[in-house]
Amino acid sequence: MKGGSTVDLTQLVTAEARAALALDNARQQALAGVLAWGDAAAAALHGDVPLAERLGWASKSLAAQAVLAGKAKPRQRALIAAEAAVTGEEPAALAARIVARDAACCAALARLTGLRRKAGRAIAAAATPDEAAAVLAALHAEVAAPGVSGG
């Protein structure tokens, strides 16, 4: 062009490329929302229990199961007995409470994991930004339904 500016055609973005970028961004936002929901739901399960204590829950559950089955190793009996001595509970009663809480927590976490994975697949399959956003809304509606826990 004489006296004018040139256009760099490599900088042009097609409508298809813009749509693909918008869909990718919507999927990322929806997935971030699902992960935030999962974090909040998991936090509601364990409440204000310190991380160091939560890290010991699996060992404590195994010890409690062994105590109830009459097959506890000395270290497992000592673990349950130490907490029971502080709380004033009978070791067997404490062990039963630990096992029941662990079972309930595992069931809730399994549901949470299933919902997160289901939402993740739906987000990946979304064909439009609106479909991706609708997945998060559907997740919130599903867990808000009467008789449904997990969020």
Asked if residue 93 belongs to a domain, the reply is yes
Asked if residue 31 belongs to a domain, the reply is yes
- Reported as half-sphere exposure (CB side, CA atoms, 13 A), residue 116 has a value of 20
Asked if residue 9 belongs to a domain, the reply is no
Side chain identity, residue 92: A
**Structural domain of 51:** 14-144
Exposure string of 125-144, with b = 16+ CB inside 10 Å and e = fewer, is ebeebebbbbbbeebeeebe
Tell me how far CA of residue 12 lies from CA of 24, 31, 75, 92, 131, in angstroms.
Answer: 19, 29, 69, 72, 27
CA distance 57 to 10: 57
What is the chain's mean pLDDT, rounded? Answer: 91
pLDDT tens, position by position, 28-80 = 999 999 999 999 999 998 888 999 999 999 999 999 999 999 999 999 999 99
pLDDT tens, position by position, 70-92 = 999 999 999 999 999 999 999 99
Asked if residue 119 belongs to a domain, the reply is yes
Asked if residue 57 belongs to a domain, the reply is yes
Instruction: Please count the structural domains in the chain.
Output: 1
Asked if residue 1 belongs to a domain, the reply is no
Judge whether 126 and 30 are in contact, CB under 8 Å: yes
Asked if residue 22 belongs to a domain, the reply is yes
Asked if residue 7 belongs to a domain, the reply is no
Side chain identity, residue 38: G
